[in-house]
Structure 1
């Protein structure tokens, strides 16, 4: 009986089983199962190393993403660039580490902004598009990758301190220009010049700044609770918003395909997520 699971701590809140199980059901993969396994970074290698051959893959959430990368026998280029892995796939002789968070952010941004060819064209009369990225933790790296894929190479990075040094390799590899911003700067003016704002921090970290930042389309990676104060303010001013639940769905599709060898039934997986969010009364998705 082929199996997959999500690894992390805490893990009870994970919606990955909702997505993957819906995919199995839609494709008639009745022998597949997907579960949650509680593990920290220290115990993750032992758990993965000791599971039986039924396990075809693992989704990995914090705090195990660095451990997953380090224990893998094979690493994809994007996982190496991100410096972490959210996906482990069984291969001959071990496990392949991948990072589909890149696809998660890219899918959510595409949903938010439309197709890449719908973005404004660069010419001598228009400034290069900029993005405002809030936070520089683990999700910030795939966010930078996804922004670079859309041709947005000028990033204002909002943190309480300048943390660009941690992102030097990404800046070089993706040809990014990152400007440090703190909450002491005129963040409303900086938000107003942004093509898009990506927030990767918990809502309490932005307390007192939500209104000043709500001047562009916003991807907020937080999804519980949803909507966030930041997206509420942005929506009130007429800007589109997307939450982390959509990002979670987009990153799950590639995982599903790598685990099962079948194309992910995206509509069925999206529907399952929608119904789950609705049933939890977390407000509407869109």
Structure 2
């Protein structure tokens, strides 16, 4: 019997059990289970200490991604660079157990963009937001060849952690105000929307107005990845598509980060198609 799960607060809405459960069934891992576990903020260390040898790994969501990094015995260099872990792999048992921290959000962002954009090189990008997903997005953009993105934030004071992560990555970030975002996303090859649901609605209105004034259209190779998948489509995703651009839905990022988590926790390649079908069927 092996156990895995997703820890967060709140966590009942998580679709991770759908993804990992589909993977276990397809791979024939009959002895594996995956659950959503509500762990309040500040209690992850105590909860983790009570995990027995049957535990193989954890997906980590808000508000525990920084705490997970601090609890690790071994940290993947990418997670250390981003400054957050969304995955804990538990190896061994008892006093010899190792907790390994990783960040698969980077893989999720990069693969989601590649899936809809293909291999065309990108030279410019805009990130909306300054949280943990934005930091993973910066690492993904660097992997995709964009090292000088514009980041639009609602508060520059809250961008300190993001700027430190960018420095560790060797990424040169230009900060701009969130209410200026519409003018910057017009020419971007890739736009990553990582702010909370509804925050980018004014950006959608600004984008539509800017293009209406100029009579221009977005290029089909301009990709928006909106990390929000409920509700879907977001106002920005709808406006982007209506204006001619290409949209990568947030659930695509969720899929690909889970694919990498399954590989790390089970040691075998994940069944992407089966996980995709289960996720699409479960979407609101």
Question: TM-score over 0.5 for the alignment?
Answer: yes
Any idea what the Cα deviations from partners look like across 1:9-43, whole Å, max 9, x if unmatched?
11110000000000011111111111011002311
Q: What is the RMSD computed on CA atoms of the aligned residues?
A: 1.7
Q: Say yes or no: does 1:166 pair with 2:170.
A: no
Structure 2 residue runs without a partner (length 5+) = 209-217
In structure 1, distance between residues paired with 2:191 and 2:36? 32
In structure 1, distance between residues paired with 2:266 and 2:282? 23
What is the number of residues matched between the two proteins? 267
Contact 2:128–2:193 at 8 Å: present in 1 too?
A: yes
Contact 1:112–1:219 at 8 Å: present in 2 too?
A: no
Contact 1:57–1:259 at 8 Å: present in 2 too?
A: yes
TM-score normalised according to structure 2 size: 0.89
Matched residue of 1:167: which SS?
A: helix
Matched residue of 1:148: which SS?
A: helix
Contact 1:203–1:230 at 8 Å: present in 2 too?
A: no
Any idea what the Cα deviations from partners look like across 1:153-202, whole Å, max 9, x if unmatched?
121111133355433433333332211211454x4332222111111012
Contact 1:203–1:229 at 8 Å: present in 2 too?
A: no
TM-score normalised according to structure 1 size: 0.88
93, 101, 105: which one aligns with 1:101:
105
Partner of 1:49: 49
Contact 2:128–2:178 at 8 Å: present in 1 too?
A: no
Residue 44 (structure 1) shift: 1.0
Partner of 2:211: none
Residue 98 (structure 1) shift: 0.8
Structure 1 residue runs without a partner (length 5+) = 121-128, 281-286
Q: Which shows bigger deviation, 17-26 or 235-244?
A: 235-244
Partner of 1:91: 91
Any idea what the Cα deviations from partners look like across 1:74-120, whole Å, max 9, x if unmatched?
111111111111111112323111111111111111123212xx226
Partner of 2:213: none
Residue 137 (structure 1) shift: 0.7
In structure 2, distance between residues paired with 1:2 and 1:203? 35
